[in-house]
Amino acid sequence: MTKVGVYICTCKAVTEVIDVNKLAEDVKKIEGVELVKFIKSCYDLDEIVKDLQEKKIERVVIAGCSPRYVLDIAREKITNAVPDISPLWIEVAPIREQAAWAFRNDKQRAQEAALTYIKAYVARVKVAEKIPKEIEVERVKRVLIIGAGIAGLTAAVDVADMGIEAIVVEKRPYVGGKVVQLARYFPKMCPPYCGIEFILGRLRARANPLIKIYTNAEVLEVYGSPGKFKARIRVNPRYVDPEKCLACGKCSEVCPVEVPNEFDFGLSKRKAIYLPHELAWPYAHVVDPNACLELKNPGSCGKCVEVCSTGAINLKEQPKEFEIEVGAVIVATGWEPYDATKLEHLGYGKYPNVITNVQMERLLAPNGPTKGEVIVPGLGRKPRRIVFIQCAGQRDENHLPYCSAICCGATVKQAITIAERCPDTQIYIFYIDVRTFGLYELFYKQAGKYPNIFFIRGRAWKVEQDPATGELIVYAEDTILGRKVSVRADLVVLAVGMVPSLRVNPPSWYKSGVGRSWEQELLKIPRHQYFVESDYICFPMETKRTGIYACGCAMWPMDVQTSVSTAHAAAMRATSIILGKARTEYSYLTDPNQIRIDTIKCTQCKRCTEECPFDTYSFDERGYPKPDPLKCRRCGICVGACPAVALSLPYHNTDLIMSMIKSIEIKSDKPQIIVFACVNDAYAALDIALKKGKTLPPEVELVIPVPCIGSVNMRWITDALSLGIDGILLMGCRSGEATATQQCHFIRGPDLERTRIENLRDTLQKMMIEPERVKLIEITLEDYNIVVEKITEFVEEIKKMGLNPMKQFAGGGMEYGFGYTF
Amino acid sequence: MTTEAGILDLSKSFDEELYNAFIKRYGVDFKACMQCATCVSVCPLSDIVPGMPRLDMLLAGLGLFDEIAKRLSPWICDQCMECSRHCPRKANPAKVLAALREIMTAKYDPTGITRRFIIGRAKAKTSKESGK
Ligand code: SF4
Ligand code: SF4
Ligand code: SF4
Ligand code: SF4
């Protein structure tokens, strides 16, 4: 027999309305209650600790203010003092909010409600199980970082600083990603390679024993659990040993093959054996296997091998594959420019002197095809007039529906650079809005003051060539003048947008538990809306896959400064999941609240595998879903989804909730309502409303906090109704697509719950119960001014409907009787 | 200059001589104008000449002096300085209207004397000196 101690808070807020002496008398009669004491406040825990230490009691119910304020603190302090008791054996019955305040004008109802809440929480602690405060799991002190651009390298240095090994995998033969292709950074107008040099040299990314960088390499597969993923990596042959190569360039001289140079976005040519760029690291040549004659047709060439004085070239080199264990993964795979050939109306691909902004970067770069001189491709001379076309595809539903964030700043940078280098060249910039956010506004203003830079407000819609002069003519409407205008130019630059790699190429390397890849899941959503992050605002660096983080332009368009910031953030998250000790929301791995399946109850319907937002499930040998507690984020959505109530979390399960519901005394003559509320939003909103003086209708029997509204199981609802509860109101946050309107921290809890309630209608009708007795409403944290009105509205609807016909059977031992799966 | 289709060709209409003279005499600060139209809102004469002085800022910045010639604003501006007081970019539109009055006088003075004083052989300062 479990011994429960109930500690009633005697603060003024409670005693003003409730007769605590009488309450104590009534509580003593509850089965299992061993002792009832008064405490001065909910934080007055000394006596509780003493009673537990003296083994007078085993479980604790503090009757006082909302669990939102005290539960965490009480559990933390009490379990610190009495380590062998389970945190779940401590509960808080909110008699201040839900009794004293909710019924502040009706003392008799308040008294009754206080007893109801204490009964419910006594019933709950009695069935709560023993869990430790924390568990230990093996966590590999190594992070896999995919991509060695500025974000990946920054993250690597951070991770290594925390004493964790960083494995960086880069598909190109050199590090630095896109930034090394840029001419300058804005607004400092400094050389981008300086930043990479700083990371490699001054920050010792090159020499740090905790950082290993693989270039020419790719990640083939990542599988397993966070804390201990397995990653399969292939290092493709470079065919040149970087430790022997002197980068003398003799090989390139003799190589007979020339192909377009991707480093210059096709504006120049390179050999089949080449140095990627002058500042490349590793500073060594590399062979392009798609171009090399010898590799395609052995015996046909091999000239480079002959001339190489150090014997660095080995055309027989084979790819190497290996597998490593990593605790976490950071995706820093960067971005690609939008394919400008899709912009036919702007003449890209048709006229050689229509180029993109990334090609312009190369024309301005000192190591570019023109050594930084602005020369029109195809004309071989300086341009007399250049036109920049902003939003070349961006903010266009037919191309990229979003703003690419950096192109206005980049164009301003390029325009200023050209204005300085070629004072006689006129630069016209066609824009819809100049979006130079933050401090970049000053930079934009600076550009406006150059006599040879002109801003035209209008979206360029056509680029044509004057057949007589060969000049390009750009057409637009100047929306300020209200007139169609044209500009003649000999160079047109399309400011194309960034396409974040994670949004356009979902990671195919991640092997999902249920055989449905992350890729497939993402492809269901329109491209630009790929919602790789768990929550765009609250957990931006966390993807929907626990232990996998993202940063930089892989996620969405951003400037270099933001890329670096997000890299620091992702490194923080990745190291905290490996080193994290505190019981924070982030330390999923050490949280003892582990998801479990009861395979005796499970019918293998697979709902849980579909509804878990975080891909926790795979299947065991017998075909039963097998949750991976290390991936689970404790949202409880699967607990709510399972039609066979086979799933449970120690802190949220059928036993806990049903014990509370069954503790309610069913009254045959008046309606009784239960409210489920998301603890983060709706429950908090109600707390605040009650604090601000609102009161609840007397019919509200019990408000039960849940981790997410999607964690409420339909079985609990049908059981409550068959017990004689008249109405059930569910309060969750705003639902919506995986875009801006969606609010749930667990992606789509309210949406899932709505569908379940919709599907419940038939069952309820068969039970001869009006489906309208169950209702889901959207209440967010800010809705405290309307939450009570919404509850009252529902109570009125129930009152109109009349009493639940099931009430007549109430007390007849109806347990799990009308589960709708039967 | 306008093409057949009624499209204003900004390159052909750009009056290089006047533009350079204008920049040389009055600097480039006026080009910071972002067309916010605060100046129009406060200008007591903008009911008579729509867009005054904002459109004059735009046209001067684009070197479209033929277009400015069609407008009354440089001639009726009474230099109350309201616009310049309120301009968030400190682009000083009142000064620009005064400058335009000089430049337009020079352009159309049949004697050519004003032209010699105002425009002369002025060349634009290079952006190195005048930019920023
Ligand atoms: S073997 Fe290949 S890389 Fe070497 S010279 Fe021949 S084509 Fe060039
Ligand atoms: S609790 Fe949430 S995260 Fe955990 S397995 Fe269930 S649905 Fe997935
Ligand atoms: S939802 Fe429940 S019954 Fe269905 S597969 Fe998952 S655990 Fe089994
Ligand atoms: S001159 Fe000044 S006030 Fe007038 S539109 Fe330009 S920025 Fe605005």
Q: Which domains does chain B have, with CATH numbers?
A: 11-124 (1.10.1060.10)
Question: Is pLDDT above 50 for A819?
Answer: no
A686 close to A789: Cβ distance less than 8 angstroms: no
Cα A55 from Cα A49, distance rounded (Å): 10
| A57-75 residue pLDDT tens | 999 999 999 999 999 999 9
Two structure tokens written together for A729: 């109101």
| A482-498 residue pLDDT tens | 999 999 999 999 999 99
Ligand 1: centre distance to CA A701 (Å) = 82
Q: What is the ipTM of this complex?
A: 0.90
Interface residue B89 vs chain A (CB under 8 A): yes
- Residue the block writes with tokens 């400011």: A495
Q: Could you tell me if A647 and A657 lie in one domain?
A: no
Interface residue B26 vs chain A (CB under 8 A): no
The answer to whether position A683 is within a domain reads yes
The distance from CA A1 to its chain's CA centroid, rounded to whole angstroms, is: 45
- Picking from A189, A442, A445 by the largest number of B CB atoms within 10 A of its own CB, the best residue to mutate is A445
Q: Could you tell me if A387 and A463 lie in one domain?
A: yes
- Angle, nearest 10°, between helix axes A150-161 and A560-579? 30
Alpha carbons within 13 A on the beta-carbon side of A25: 6
Considering only CA atoms, give the Rg of chain B: 15
Q: Could you tell me if A734 and A629 lie in one domain?
A: no
Mean pLDDT of chain B: 88
Average pLDDT over residues A705-728: 96
Measured in angstroms, the CA of B111 and the nearest CA of chain A are apart by: 30
Q: Could you tell me if A678 and A772 lie in one domain?
A: yes
If one compares A404 and A512, the residue with the highest pLDDT of the two is A404
Q: What is the pLDDT of residue A422?
A: 95
Question: Is pLDDT above 80 for A583?
Answer: no
Q: What is the pLDDT of residue B111?
A: 87
Q: Could you tell me if A688 and A646 lie in one domain?
A: no
> Of A496, A517, A538, at which residue does a domain stop?
A496
Ligand located closest to A607 CA: 3
Which among B3, B58, B130 has the least Cβ separation from residue A480? B58
| A76-93 residue pLDDT tens | 999 999 999 999 999 999
> Of A579, A605, A625, at which residue does a domain stop?
A579
The answer to whether position A584 is within a domain reads no
A660 close to A704: Cβ distance less than 8 angstroms: yes
The answer to whether position A296 is within a domain reads yes
Q: Where residue A362 sits, what CATH number does that domain have? A: 3.50.50.60
Residue A407 makes CB contacts below 8 A (sequence gap 6+) with: A357, A390, A391, A394, A495, A496, A497, A498
Interface residue B14 vs chain A (CB under 8 A): yes
If one compares A504 and A319, the residue with the highest pLDDT of the two is A319
The answer to whether position A445 is within a domain reads yes
Q: Could you tell me if A569 and A597 lie in one domain?
A: no
The distance from CA A617 to its chain's CA centroid, rounded to whole angstroms, is: 19
* Long-range own/partner contacts, residues A393-397 (CB < 8 A, 24 or more apart): A393/A338, A393/A340, A393/A342, A393/A343, A393/A494, A393/A496, A393/A497, A394/A338, A394/A495, A394/A496, A394/A497, A395/A432
Mean pLDDT of chain A: 92
Residue B76: how many other CB atoms lie within 10 Å? 13
Q: Which of A199, A131, A202, A211 is nearest to A164 (CA)?
A: A211
Q: Where residue A785 sits, what CATH number does that domain have? A: 3.40.50
Q: Which 3 state secondary structure label does DSSP give A48?
A: helix
Query: Which amino acid appears at position A755 of this protein?
Result: T
Phi then psi for A286, rounded to 5 degrees? -150, 150
Q: Could you tell me if A657 and A783 lie in one domain?
A: yes
Alpha carbons within 13 A on the beta-carbon side of A564: 10
B55 close to B71: Cβ distance less than 8 angstroms: yes
Q: Give the range among A222-226, A436-440, A630-634, B109-113 with minimum mean pLDDT.
A: B109-113
The dihedral of CA A577, A580, A586, A587: what is its sign?
positive
The answer to whether position A241 is within a domain reads no
| A531-564 residue pLDDT tens | 577 787 888 898 888 899 999 999 889 999 999 9
Q: Which residues of A touch B5 (CB under 8 A)?
A: 484
Do the chains contact at B131 and A457, CB–CB below 8 Å? no
Task: Give the single-character DSSP code of A278.
Answer: T
> Residue A660 belongs to what domain range?
653-822
Which residues partner with A577 through β-bridges?
Answer: none
Q: Could you tell me if A358 and A259 lie in one domain?
A: no
Do the chains contact at B9 and A487, CB–CB below 8 Å? yes
A730 close to A709: Cβ distance less than 8 angstroms: yes
The answer to whether position A585 is within a domain reads no
Q: Could you tell me if A104 and A207 lie in one domain?
A: no
HEC assignment per residue over A87-117: HHHEEEECHHHHHHHCCCCCHHHHHHHHHHH
Cα A338 from Cα A395, distance rounded (Å): 12
0.90 exceeded by pTM? yes
Q: Could you tell me if A221 and A309 lie in one domain?
A: no
DSSP string, A361-413: HHHHSTTSTTTT----TTT-S--SEEEEESSSSBT-TTSB-S--SSHHHHHHH
Q: What is the pLDDT of residue A811?
A: 52
| A159-203 residue pLDDT tens | 999 999 999 999 999 999 999 999 999 999 999 998 999 999 888
Which among B32, B34, B124 has the least Cβ separation from residue A451? B124
Q: Could you tell me if A805 and A663 lie in one domain?
A: yes
> Of A472, A496, A520, at which residue does a domain stop?
A496
Alpha carbons within 13 A on the beta-carbon side of A776: 25
The dihedral of CA A138, A142, A146, A149: what is its sign?
positive
Q: Which residues of B touch A428 (CB under 8 A)?
A: 10
Measured in angstroms, the CA of A565 and the nearest CA of chain B are apart by: 29
A691 close to A101: Cβ distance less than 8 angstroms: yes
Q: From B8, which residue of chain A is nearest by alpha-carbon distance?
A: A485
Q: What is the pLDDT of residue A584?
A: 57
Q: Could you tell me if A194 and A46 lie in one domain?
A: no
The tally of domains found in chain A comes to 6
HEC assignment per residue over A752-818: HHHHHHHHHHHHHHHCCCCHHHEEEEECCHHHHHCHHHHHHHHHHHHHHHCCCHHHHHCCCCCCCCC
Query: Which amino acid appears at position A420 of this protein?
Result: E
Alpha carbons within 13 A on the beta-carbon side of A18: 33
Measured in angstroms, the CA of A450 and the nearest CA of chain B are apart by: 5
User: Which residue, judged by its Cα, is nearest atom 4 of ligand 1?
Assistant: A304
- The kind and range of the H/E element at A66 are none
Cα–Cα–Cα angle for A359, A361, A365, rounded to 5 degrees: 120
Average pLDDT over residues A701-723: 96
